[in-house]
Amino acid sequence: MLFENLNIIEPILKALKTEGYTSPTPIQEGAIPAILKGNDLEGCAQTGTGKTAAFAIPILQLLYSKQKALKGPRNIKALILAPTRELAIQIGESFTSYGKYTGLKNTVIFGGVSQRAQTNALRAGVDILIATPGRLLDLMHQKYISLEHIELAVLDEADRMLDMGLGHDVKKIIAKLPSSRQTMLFSATMPKEISKLIESILIKPVKIEVTPVSSTIDTIKQAVYFVEKRNKKSLLLHLLKDKSIESVLVFSKTKHGANKITGDLVKAGIEAEAIHGNKSQNARQRALTNFKEKKIRVLVATDIAARGIDIEKLSLVINFDLPDVPETYVHRIGRTGRARAEGIAISFCDREERDCLRSIEKTISKSISVIKEHPYLV
């Protein structure tokens, strides 16, 4: 299957070629025709499956076909809600890349930074708005944003938005959308609350499911090191002696832990920065950019900050701590091995984390191979 077979218009095909995409991923193959036909959509997919393009491409196409007939100032016609600032920024970048020959404009709004640049962009007129719920409601209250012209709405990573306590805000926003809209919801997991949300906001949705959360992406090699808590730092430094490891994303359970690991790495002469919720948005974005541009070798992140982060050719993820929730493990290791690339995910497991490891293995229905050749084996 090629993108040409999905009836995608020339300006978008041209942009996809520039991106180096030739064939659609399974979620794109299912979602693009369904959305173009005007259906609501329920997508069960995690990041790394190409889900952003699965909704961005048809949204751009639907809006492009109509834009010639429209006169007067631009209205916001598509809204994408995302749980975190980082994910919102990335979605915005995708719309900009895939839509660069369409003349359609997008902007991204999120909290934690001054609203000035965002309100200026809104005033200049946008077709597509990507937003985190809190800032969106804030700017709606201040009358900078009206949702009355929305034709297409996307809830991305809906499960995460509910986990983060954003459910109430999301519902308030949905209540302001025109009822004639087309709605798409993407979620990596489908707990009961999401099914309820789906029932209340989607009309006869087409359902698409790819790689259920319990089956980790097959291209990722997973391994675990049994190590005492106090030796985790030494083990990390030991592994990083391997110079062939260019970029590593290290996960820490806590913000304090992320700072500590970063400090230890820097002391050992390894370029590293941390991203977590206590850092300003600008600091987080700077660290992410430095990491993507390979100016730093290690990015240390907490789960909230890392959600949805997309780093091309990230080959190694290290779980310095194991997460308590098994699904979080799947999300973490999904940062590598994206879009069919090979990836490696290593986990450090101390005595207290053995139970977490067992429940992770149960969730992914796989046992993770144990690496015994290292100096800190328990």
Instruction: State in angstroms the smallest separation of the CB of 243 from ligand AMP.
Output: 26
Taking the C-alpha atoms of residue 27 and residue 310, their distance in angstroms, rounded to an integer, is 17
- Our CB check for ligand AMP shows the closer of 310 and 321 to be 310
∠ at Cα 146 (143, 151), nearest 5°? Answer: 170
β-strand pairing of 343-349 with 182-187: unpaired
∠ at Cα 173 (172, 174), nearest 5°? Answer: 95
Q: Which residues bind ligand AMP (CB under 6 A)?
A: 21, 24-25, 28, 47-53, 310, 312, 338-339
- Our CB check for ligand AMP shows the closer of 229 and 294 to be 294
∠ at Cα 141 (135, 143), nearest 5°? Answer: 105
Instruction: State in angstroms the smallest separation of the CB of 37 from ligand AMP.
Output: 20
- Our CB check for ligand AMP shows the closer of 45 and 349 to be 45
- Our CB check for ligand AMP shows the closer of 44 and 272 to be 44
3-state secondary structure of 232: helix
Q: Could you tell me the two tokens for 147?
A: 């949702």
Instruction: State in angstroms the smallest separation of the CB of 58 from ligand AMP.
Output: 13
Instruction: State in angstroms the smallest separation of the CB of 343 from ligand AMP.
Output: 12
User: In sequence order, what are the beta bridge partners of 41?
Assistant: 184, 206
Number of other CB atoms surrounding residue 285 within 10 Å: 16
Instruction: State in angstroms the smallest separation of the CB of 120 from ligand AMP.
Output: 28
Instruction: State in angstroms the smallest separation of the CB of 344 from ligand AMP.
Output: 17
At position 68, the amino acid (one-letter code) is K
Alpha-helical regions (H) of the chain: 10-19, 26-36, 51-67, 85-98, 116-124, 133-141, 158-163, 167-175, 192-201, 232-240, 255-267, 281-292, 303-306, 326-333, 354-364
- Our CB check for ligand AMP shows the closer of 3 and 226 to be 3
3-state secondary structure of 341: coil
- Our CB check for ligand AMP shows the closer of 217 and 357 to be 217
- Our CB check for ligand AMP shows the closer of 24 and 323 to be 24
- Our CB check for ligand AMP shows the closer of 27 and 126 to be 27
Instruction: State in angstroms the smallest separation of the CB of 52 from ligand AMP.
Output: 3
Instruction: State in angstroms the smallest separation of the CB of 46 from ligand AMP.
Output: 7
**272 — phi, psi (to 5°)?**
-150, 150
* Residues in CB range of 246: below 8 A, 6 or more apart: 294, 297, 315
